[in-house]
Each structure stands twice: as structure tokens, then as C-alpha cells.
Amino acid sequence: MDYLQHPFDSKRTTVFSKKGMVATSQPLAAQAGIEIMRNGGNAIDAAIAAAAALTVVEPTSNGIGGDAFALVWVKDKLHGLNSSGPAPKNISIKAVKSLGHEEMPVHGMIPITVPGVPAAWAELSKKFGKLPYSELFKPAIRYAEEGYPLTPILGKYWKAAYESFKTKFTAEEYQSWFDTFAPQGKAPEIGEMWSSPGHAETLREIAATESRSFYSGKLADQIDAFMQKHGGFLSKEDLAAFKPEWVAPVSANYRGYDVWEIPPNGQGMVALMALNIYKNLNKPKWQSAETYHEQIEAMKLAFTDGKEFITEPEAMPVSAEHLLSEEYAKKRAEVIGETAIDPVLYELPKGGTVYLSAADEEGNMISYIQSNYMGFGSGIVIPGTGIALQNRGADFSLDEQHPNALKGGKRTFHTIIPGFLTKDGKAVGPFGVMGGYMQPQGHFQVVTNTIDHLLNPQAALDMPRWQWLGGKTILLEPAFPNYLAQELSRKGHAIQLAVDSGSFGRGQIIWRNPETGVLAGGTEARTDGAIAVW
């Protein structure tokens, strides 16, 4: 595929390489991946090393106690991995309400679900890796043990979390968070060294046991003991029962390219639904208010439906196949006019996340994402281990009639999504944009920037973004052109201007030239993004 640089003032230049490339939101994590690749590992080995390193060098967005998803291209085939954990077996709507909650709490013991990250690492290594599992963790262990200086965006979010948590997290179970992430009684400053010896020991244990210790060994016992002490629902039985799931990726064809996502319980389908709706509308125009308007309307319809219907496949009131069908897309496209609408739910037919990508000269490519959710997750850290546990259960509904109703052993609607692009059965490459509910919106904008406007990877990421917040409300990035903002306002959109770019997602892209094998990568200027090459 030829990527042209459209006349757009991109903040960085696209990076090119032949033998290998790792793109992450942190320079040290990208270097960890390339270090492993130079030592004989492939793209999958490199991604695991970078992911392990990210739990150390970007704890504001992910951790060992989070979930993970991956799309892996090996030997001309795309594989999907869903390593999102379910709710504990003994949790229920009744149990949560009996504790005084009418909605799922965001922090604490209740929203903790089974972590999938360590299992994802082991599963990817077992199926596709080249190097011994223990080799992949050496860079991350080194960073945790020796320490590293905080980068600017990392330091900003770390400090913001500390300022919020110091008044919010007063119960005993939160003390380990402060012991781990604010050991001097404050958040570490930008440029200041921070280390986590307990985190290093945990990574050693995971490396030595191929992650088994986390689910049925020493680490599982430590997690279980802390849960029991503080009235948590997660148990060692829940951990022991967990297995990642290999899944068939789902796709939508957008103007000759196949865009791939992980199927439900993830929200990746929202991006595909929006692309399907949008391609039924007018031909895209560069920097046109009409084009932006139609993109926004397509996204708000897809998101309204996705948030209502997407959960575990067996609990969905409508099939994924229908939501990705031409029938659905055309019906939703008919709703879109020349002015903004308040989206109405589709009438059913009767009857803190980190993203990284890696590629090697053998043709292997991986799109990988892991997260603790909402920054540091639940706020619960297992003492002395560096294991910060996620709060994915916060997305469950306590309405028994809702498709995403809380139930023991059930996986919730999940926000983290890796993406992948192919054309005519050949890999173009991995892409992703992290950031809660911004993720499918980011995927949609990156894909349309690339295919409709021929932007190279870096320019596609650097384009000013919009974000649908609900109803007719649209948040625009500071760099979004003012004349377009005014035109969108005249079309009925309730425009809000963001003060910074913090909520607009952080992405990575690697495209491969099918004829030469040359890799072209873009990284995110909205974070401390970096591309390491070989």
C-alpha cells in the first residue's frame, strides 16, 4: 500500500525500518522489545517484553493485575486472543446491593475481576514465541529493580492520581497503593527516579513459572489472603479457573480494506459498525464540516447501540453478525441528516490502558493492548508485590434486565481493543488507540484518515481529534480548526473545546510494504510515545 503525506503539518515524522519495529507509549518499553528482538526473539516475544516493561514504566495506565487482548499475524493468518477475566464466582447483584451500592463502585474490592495479563503473556509465548519465557522479562525486571526516571506525561498523570487518591483512599486496604506508588509520601516528580523491588520479584516469579504462580501458586495465595482479609470477592479458585480464549477476529470491509477487531465482549465492534454506517454516506472530503458531521453521527449511532447490546456473546440480545451486517448499517445511515441528532437506540429485529504494536522481518506482526482501567485501576495493590488490580467490574450493570448485568463468572463489556488492517488477504499492519470510550472513536478516525485521506502513519495519529461525549455534545481537541468547529456548531452539535489533549487517546501504528517488507511506524505525540527499530 502506498501512503502519501497529505498536506498536513504532522508533529513528528514517520519512522522506517526493515528488520524490526516496536511502537509503544514509553521509550524504555519500546527499547525492551527491540532488545529481545536483537537477542533472537520475534515480534511476539518483543511485544511480551514491552508489555511487561509497561507495567513498570507506565503504571498509571496498566499493570500485572489487568486484562489484555491481542491480534497476531503469523504465517499469513490473523489470530485473536481474549484474555479478559470474569467476575468472581461468588459475586452477585444482591451481594453488591447488600453492601449499600445501587451502582457498581469504581474503586475498592468490589469491581475487581480476574486479571488476564499474566495468562496472556504465557499464552502468546507458548503459541508463537521463539525465546524462553524467562528471557522476556529481563528488561522489565531491570527497570523495576534499578529504577528509571519519570517521563513528562507519565509524571503528570501519576501526580494527578496521587492528589485524588490521598483524600479518597483512606481505608486500610488502600495503604499498599501509597506504599508502592508514593513511597516518599508524594508522587514521584518528572525526571525523578522510581523503583519497585516488589514488582521486580513478582516479575521474576511470573517468568520462572510461566505465569502459573499468579493463578495457582505463591502469587495466587498472596492475592487470595489479601482479598479474604478485606472482604473482597476474588478468590484463588477464581484465579485457578481462568484460561485465555483464542477467538476468531471480526471485520468490516471499508473501501477495499478489511479492518479487524476482537469480537464481543470487547467494544471493537463499535468501530466496525461506525465504519459500515459511514461508508453509506457522502464521499469524504478533506477538512470538510460535512464529512466530520457524518463521521460523528455514524459514531454516535454505533456507540449508542454497542454500549447497550455488547457483552458476553450468549447474553447479547442481538447477534454480532447482525450488528455488522449491511442491513443494519443502511438502516442506521438513513437516520443521519444534515443536522446533529440525539441518538435513539436501534430497534432490534424481531425474532489510565496501554497499546503497543510490533513487527519483525519474518512477517510476524502483533497488535496488543493491556489495561488496569481508569488509570491505576481499583486502587488495590497486593502488599510487597507491585500487583495493582484492575476495576473492570465497574462497567457491570446492577439492573438484572440489562444485557451487561453483573453475574458471577461473567465477563463485562470491555473497552480495550487492538486493531489490525489487511487488504486482499495480506497484512497491512497493527494499529490501536487507547483511552477508555475514546478507543473505537480513535480507531475510526485513524482508519478514515489513512484510507480516505492517504495520511501516513504518523500524520494519521497526529490529526486533531473529536470525541463524542453523549447526546449532541462533541469535545474537540485544542488544535481542531476553529472554522470547522463553528460550522459543526451551526449543524446543531454542542461543541466543547478541550483544554488539553489528555482524553483523546494514545495510539501506535505499524504498516508493512507488501513488496519490500519495509516497516513504517507512527507513535503518539499525546504521550511519551516512542518507536524502537532494528
Q: How do residues 99-120 score in pLDDT, each as one tens digit?
A: 999 999 999 999 999 999 999 9
Average pLDDT over residues 462-468: 96
> Are 117 and 370 within 8 A, CB to CB?
yes
> Are 280 and 287 within 8 A, CB to CB?
no
Average pLDDT over residues 357-383: 95
Q: How do residues 116-147 score in pLDDT, each as one tens digit?
A: 999 999 999 999 999 999 999 999 999 999 99
Using the predicted structure, report yes or no on whether residue 533 has a pLDDT greater than 80: yes
Alpha carbons within 13 A on the beta-carbon side of 93: 15
> Which pLDDT band, with edges at 50, 70 and 90, does 314 fall under?
confident
> Are 394 and 113 within 8 A, CB to CB?
no
Percentage of the chain beyond pLDDT 70 is: 97
Distance (Å, whole) CA 397 – CA 408: 13
Q: How do residues 159-205 score in pLDDT, each as one tens digit?
A: 999 999 999 999 999 999 999 999 999 999 999 999 999 999 999 99
Q: What angle do CA 511, 512, 516 make, to 5 degrees?
A: 150
Is the torsion defined by CA of 287, 293, 296, 299 positive or negative?
negative
Task: Write down the mean pLDDT value for the chain.
Answer: 94
Using the predicted structure, report yes or no on whether residue 7 has a pLDDT greater than 60: no
pLDDT for res 349: 61
Using the predicted structure, report yes or no on whether residue 9 has a pLDDT greater than 70: no
pLDDT for res 487: 98
For residue 194, the tally of other CB atoms under 10 A from its CB is 24
Using the predicted structure, report yes or no on whether residue 2 has a pLDDT greater than 80: no
For residue 464, report the phi and psi dihedrals to the nearest 5 degrees. Answer: -55, 140
pLDDT for res 5: 45
Q: Which has the minimum average pLDDT: 5-9, 427-431, 520-524?
A: 5-9
Distance (Å, whole) CA 14 – CA 341: 37
Nearest to 301 by CA among 258, 266, 331: 331
Residues in the chain: 534
pLDDT for res 346: 85
Q: What is the DSSP string of 188-250?
A: PPTT-EE--HHHHHHHHHHHHHTTHHHHHSHHHHHHHHHHHHTT-S--HHHHHH---EEE--E
Average pLDDT over residues 266-279: 95
Contacts of 115 (CB under 8 A, 6+ apart): 64, 65, 66, 67, 85, 214, 389, 390
Would you state the cell numbers that stand for residue 517, as one nine-digit string?
517488507
For residue 532, report the phi and psi dihedrals to the nearest 5 degrees. Answer: -105, 135
State the DSSP H helix or E strand holding residue 307, giving kind and residue range, or none if neither: helix 289-309
State the DSSP H helix or E strand holding residue 120, giving kind and residue range, or none if neither: helix 117-128
Strand pairing category for 473-476 and 494-497: parallel
For residue 109, report the phi and psi dihedrals to the nearest 5 degrees. Answer: -75, -35
Q: How do residues 70-97 score in pLDDT, each as one tens digit?
A: 999 999 999 999 999 999 999 999 999 9
Using the predicted structure, report yes or no on whether residue 489 has a pLDDT greater than 80: yes
Bridge partners, 534 (sequence order): none
As annotated, the active-site residues are: 353
Distance (Å, whole) CA 66 – CA 336: 38
Which residue do the cell numbers 522476556 mark? Answer: 136
Is the torsion defined by CA of 256, 261, 267, 269 positive or negative?
positive
pLDDT for res 348: 62
Q: What is the DSSP string of 433-449?
A: EESGGGHHHHHHHHHHH
Using the predicted structure, report yes or no on whether residue 6 has a pLDDT greater than 50: no
Using the predicted structure, report yes or no on whether residue 407 has a pLDDT greater than 50: yes
